[in-house]
Structure 1
Amino acid sequence: MADLKLYDPFENMQFSDKHCFLCGTTITKEQRTPVFAEWLQQKYNLQDKELLLLDKSVTTFSRLTIPCCDNCHVQHIIPLEAEIEHAAEKGLEGLQALDEKRLFQWIGKMYYGTLVTELIKESDPLVMPEYAVSENPKMLGKFREFFKVLQSLRVPMVFSDFIPCSLFLLEVSPTEDELPFEYQDELTTMAFSVKLGPVVIVCTLLDNSIIRKALGKLYRLVEGKKLHPVQVAEFKARVFYAAYLFNVVPEYFERPQKPEDTQVVLDTIIDDVTNEIFNPWELSAYAHMLEELLKPWAIREKQILQKPGLPLSFLVDETGAFKTIERFDRSEV
């Protein structure tokens, strides 16, 4: 029989090397799974690339592992990674053909794996982070809701009329694309992006697809087009800034179970009565976000804001039509 009981590590802050991150089973320190799958590390030669954690300690992609029991590793993690690897080999079409829930689980595992590492390290940090995740009740509540839906990786689960995230799949033009792999995440806003060769997956992990709807017009504009890397950077800035403005936390509720049930059904609500869904859009804050993502092209905030009320865009012209960019021309900035 399927195990339909959800695990809640947040109730007792049960984050340690002694408990499986996904089901809570007591394990040995040797039982672990990579946050970034071995196939991903090998394909993009990531093993020794460094990652900076919140406590200022440095790890590598190969050393970033999380506690995981043998059952979860073999029955859930390995099949998920095999499915994503197979889809990624087919490029954009392969990833588009995947069930969105599987992409959500894959991205969610990497995001949550990084989060669990931070929570474990906060018990004995190299340098205490300025804003400790474990001391922020609002963030912990948000992560707790996220973990409910992430358990769809282990527990047979149906999302009732929603998907917990917003997913965007972009294709990069090869002309000036020199970066085979790139990874970025924002722990607090739960925005994430990963580049797999010519495909970029951008995701906001806990918004019930609201950000995708909000950016629907722009996404429809770029779908089916090969984007210059500078255009991808701008699209990511727009998604990451939308995640920064997103002001509500979805709540998820299990429907009462019957003895014969073989899956958990989750319903969701969002409190959009006492809270605005998005905080007000601020041009200067967006420009700062865009500047961060345009660093490879050395574009400064002053250049982004040179036209009053109209931030620099590589995606659309002043009429809102899509811009075609084959090569980056600095003189046009």
Structure 2
Amino acid sequence: MSQTLYNPFTDLIFDPHFCFLSGALTTEKMSVFPKWLMDHFNFGDERIEMMDKEKSYNYEDLELPCSLKVKQAFDAIDIKIKAAYEHGYEGMAALDELLIFQWTGRMVYGLLYYEMVYERNRLLKTGEEFELSPALQERFSNFHLMLQSIIEPISFEGKKPWSIVVFPLKYSADIFSYRDDAINLMFSFGVNGFGFVACLQDNGVIKAKHTEVLEKIEGHVLHPVQFEELYARFHYSDYILQYSPKYLVEYNVDLISIAVKEEKEPLFGFWNEDIYAQLLSNYWGVYGITKDDILQPQRPTLSFLENPYTKEFVNPETIALPF
């Protein structure tokens, strides 16, 4: 085994002739979003915007250059995820978290790849140099390395580098909901039967922060408005997280091991209810709930997960909003 693996973030290489994951020369391509998922929910011809809202693509047109080996590896994961999906929550909850990380990572990295290419091309037109901050370069490099566990013998020792939460969820059968934040490496996915929230590079600290509410959720089938609130809590927690995940990476003869390196206790910045309410209103807009509804003078912040006054879990069956 090579002592180092391909890292496109070292020299910021995002070339259509090189496999996005292995760096091998290739003419093959794979879709960013699994084809079976686009076909099942019929969203391939819908549009997705880049972060600056200036550029958009059809979902089905988002493709990554890949080697045949990489394509076959992702196809194999797709088969396992699709089989689990067909068994609803029980099927997904039984999956190894690594499979969910890899499957989710394909979509998150694919969107990140397009953001990198778009930003590089935009700067080239103005004669500016495409650069990433050292912090982003390190974060994306670590994520890319971990995603290579699909094709390389990589083991994760001890504490996992991600927070992944799977739970029962009640959506109408034809509804599919997902949200992503490629820069912060976050993803949420909700359908009829189950949902999951994934923070792909936080070393589990965001899940640990919300242990109390996650324990309250256990045993309940969430209403979609609760699912959106949970993701908003995770997303905002990531925003205020003052912590740079570090890892010990060991290259052995036939195995690469990755272990979380705990240098200091993770810290969260001040939780600003005004900013959080604005974020949450973006997710609750489909219900007609505005920021002013969430944050009213002399009242606690609106929540459908916990009673704002008693902190007791809100029974999903008592929520009158549509699903």
Do they superpose with TM above 0.5?
A: yes
Which residue number corresponds to residue 260 of structure 2? 268
Which residue number corresponds to residue 66 of structure 2? 68
The alpha-carbon deviation at position 285 of structure 1 amounts to: 1.5
Change (3 A) 1:307 1:162: same
Q: Distance in 2 between matches of 1:42 and 1:220?
A: 35
1:302 aligns with 2:297: no
Which residue number corresponds to residue 59 of structure 1? 57
Change (3 A) 1:314 1:50: same
Instruction: Say if 2:41 and 2:176, in contact at 8 Å, map to a contact too.
Output: yes
1:322 aligns with 2:313: yes
Instruction: Say if 1:145 and 1:250, in contact at 8 Å, map to a contact too.
Output: no
Give 5+ residue unaligned stretches, structure 1: none
Equivalent position to 1:186, from 176, 181, 192: 181
Instruction: Say if 1:160 and 1:267, in contact at 8 Å, map to a contact too.
Output: yes
The alpha-carbon deviation at position 127 of structure 1 amounts to: 11
The number of equivalent residue pairs is 317
SS of 1:141's equivalent in the other structure is helix
Structure with greater helix share of residues: 2
**RMSD (CA atoms):** 2.4
Which residue number corresponds to residue 238 of structure 2? 243
Q: Distance in 2 between matches of 1:202 and 1:4?
A: 33
Give 5+ residue unaligned stretches, structure 2: none
The alpha-carbon deviation at position 256 of structure 1 amounts to: 4.5
Instruction: Say if 1:291 and 1:299, in contact at 8 Å, map to a contact too.
Output: yes
Q: Distance in 2 between matches of 1:163 and 1:284?
A: 32
Which residue number corresponds to residue 227 of structure 1? 222
TM-score normalised over the length of structure 1: 0.88
TM-score normalised over the length of structure 2: 0.90
Which residue number corresponds to residue 100 of structure 2? 103
Q: Distance in 1 between matches of 2:296 and 2:124?
A: 40
Q: Distance in 2 between matches of 1:240 and 1:89?
A: 28
Q: Distance in 2 between matches of 1:98 and 1:123?
A: 37
1:120-269 to 2 correspondence within 5 Å? 120-125=117-122, 134-174=131-171, 177=172, 180-257=175-252, 259=253, 262-269=254-261
Equivalent residue letter for 2:317: E
SS of 1:280's equivalent in the other structure is coil
Q: Distance in 2 between matches of 1:263 and 1:309?
A: 55
1:282 aligns with 2:258: no
Identical-residue share of aligned pairs (%): 29
The alpha-carbon deviation at position 65 of structure 1 amounts to: 0.8
The alpha-carbon deviation at position 124 of structure 1 amounts to: 2.3
SS of 2:179's equivalent in the other structure is strand
Q: Distance in 1 between matches of 2:175 and 2:213?
A: 25
Q: Distance in 1 between matches of 2:232 and 2:125?
A: 29
